[in-house]
Chains A and B, each alone.
Chain A
Amino acid sequence: MSEKTSSKASAFDRRAFMAGAAGSALMPMTARAATQDATPPAARDPSLPVEVTLRVNGKDKRLRIDARTTVLDALREHLKLTGSKKGCDHGQCGACTVLIDDRRVVSCLTLALAAEGQEITTIEGLATDDRLHPMQQAFIDNDAFQCGYCTPGQIMSAVACVKEGHAGSDADIREYMSGNICRCAAYPNIVAAVKQAAPEIMKG
């Protein structure tokens, strides 16, 4: 048990480092000039980068990106928030699940440009200071992962599943968590984790 705890602590350090690195992704002043561009969007060259401000985990992040960039790639490649995982990149596996305006979505099929002005919450934004979110703790307590690759998506999806009121029974949890695939098949433990965390989350 103590081993498990210490490995989690080191994961925290890595996360803290990642969060720090994200600051450097803020756009330099020169990029702001592009917003002054009076050319209407329809007449612009699609090969030019576009400016977008994403609100991620409560902070505004200014980016200059290719219009094709998804929220997932913006998070991972531009903001260095690599908690959200790229599994299939086609909306089939759920590894990239984040909350947008408190609703779970797959970030790989969401264009960053379309998410402007909305509140994006990733796995990095779930804990409060040093205290894990009840769902994160429940995944540890119930050994609800093996390789861990799908886990950030599972946890984000599970938080929403509870808040939607879909964690009332094992059958409900299985149905409403079916958009998150776990290749290690930790499903029974994931169901147990969701059940454990649900009352605490509903309590607020």
Chain B
Amino acid sequence: MRPFLYQKATDPGMAVQALGAAGNNPLTRATAQPLAGGTTLIDLMKLDVMRPAAIVDINPLAQGWSAIEPRDDSLRLGALAKMSDVAAHDGIQRNYPVIANSLKLAASAQLRNMATLGGNVMQRTRCSYFRDVSYENCNKRNPGSGCAAMDGVNRMHAVLGTSDHCIATYPGDFAQALIALDAMLEITGASGTRNMPFAELHKAPGNTPDIETTLRPGELISAFVIRGRWPRSVYLKARDRQSYEFALSSAAIALDVQDGTIRDARIALGGVATVPWRAREAEALLKGQKFDDGLAQRVADAAFAEARGRRHNGFKIALGRRVVARALQQAVTMEI
């Protein structure tokens, strides 16, 4: 690990000032990085993938930024709330099971105790060619150097939202719940706070896979806000092991069903795309319909209509369709 200056931020102003002072884009290569749970950052610094010259420890902000606040018609989650605390919260389990389960099925108990919600959505890809600096060609690490995954062992890589420059999978689970529920971000920066749809946070790789988010230098996610309640929601995750593994394919589904008719439907896909992925065309097929297996199949097909497999990851398209169909079945039949 390379040397860095360590600084504790005791208030948000100090944090954004310290982070913004190093203000070079893209954020992924900014010379000052915020430290929350550290489960991505310290790991990638040990691998020499991330090389910040300064670490701004934002954990002292937890007092103001870690509240879990379910209200009658909305939910506000502080960005420094720990994954484990949110997953174990009664109100979240009851009214937002897709959130509770996306967190519970991620990582290990130890990592969930450390990792924060804000850090979770900012986690970097698990692409093995990105994580291993002995591979020269990674457009995410070394812009313009090419992509070792294209012709490499790309079994874990994305089939949606890819470009000719990068096929790295967005690895998280919680983000799928957020994008499905139309979550809003509260972002704290030098000029105060601003709000932005969570769906606008991540950028598909395109020509610039090194630019992963739309956050500006010095900005920090301070909270997530979700309107409404989604008791009929599920997170289904298919993976190589039963526990403690990233998704090969996952689905976050939220439904509003009245008298057997689907009034609103949300579908997001994980493990298969370069960014948190909302399947809007698939959702549209469900609205106003009564559920049956044929409909589930058509929705699943629509969700992967644009998918493009490579040499080793084509199986994710068939697997992903089954995950969507099964998750829909679970959401329709669950008791609430």
Contact = CB atoms under 8 A, between A and B. Distances in A.
B53 A46 contact: yes
Interface stretch (A86-94, A124-132, A140-148, A193-201): A86-94
Contacts of A160: 109
Interface stretch (A5-13, A14-22, A77-85, A97-105): A97-105
Nearest to A177: B109
A66 B55 CA distance: 14
A180 B109 CA distance: 9
B35 A111 contact: yes
B289 interface: no
A42 B54 contact: yes
Interface stretch (B37-45, B247-255, B276-284, B313-321): B37-45
Contacts of A106: 39, 110-111, 114
Contacts of B8: 41
Nearest to B108: A179
Contacts of A110: 38, 42, 114
A68 B243 CA distance: 31
Contacts of A47: 3
Interface string B218-259: 000000000000000000000000011000000000000000
A65 to B, nearest CB: 11
Contact of B111 (A42, A50, A174, A179): A179
B336 interface: no
A114 interface: yes
A55 interface: no
Given A91-B43, A110-B38, A178-B244, A103 B3 contact: no
B5 A42 contact: yes
Interface string B16-48: 001000000000000000010011001100110
B109 A44 contact: no
Interface string A158-177: 00110010100000001111
Contacts of A97: 110
A66 B38 CA distance: 17
Given A109-B39, A174-B243, A176-B109, A90 B6 contact: no
Contact of B5 (A46, A111, A176, A180): A46
A121 interface: no
A91 B111 contact: yes
Contacts, number: 90
B113 A104 contact: yes
Given A46-B53, A91-B43, A109-B39, A178 B114 contact: no
A25 interface: no
B113 A105 contact: yes
A55 B43 CA distance: 24
B43 A109 contact: yes
A46 B4 contact: yes
B37 to A, nearest CB: 8
Nearest to B241: A178
B57 interface: yes
Which residue, B8, B107, B110, has most C-beta atoms of chain A within 10 A? B110
A192 interface: no
Nearest to A110: B38
A107 B7 CA distance: 20
B329 interface: no
A111 B3 contact: no
Nearest to A109: B42
Contacts of B5: 41-42, 44, 46, 67
Nearest to B85: A103
Contact of B109 (A67, A104, A114): A104
A111 B42 contact: yes
Interface of A: 41-42, 44, 46-47, 50, 66-68, 70, 89-91, 94, 97, 103-106, 109-111, 113-114, 157, 160-161, 164, 166, 174-180
Given A41-B7, A104-B110, A114-B38, 6 more contacts: A66-B3, A67-B4, A91-B111, A109-B42, A111-B55, A178-B244
27 contacts: A42-B5, A42-B7, A44-B5, A46-B5, A67-B3, A89-B46, A90-B47, A91-B42, A94-B108, A94-B110, A104-B110, A105-B113, A106-B39, A106-B110, A106-B111, A110-B38, A111-B55, A114-B35, A114-B38, A160-B109, A174-B243, A176-B109, A178-B108, A178-B109, A178-B244, A179-B109, A179-B110
Interface of B: 1, 3-8, 18, 35, 38-39, 42-43, 46-47, 53-55, 57, 59, 84, 88, 107-111, 113-114, 243-244
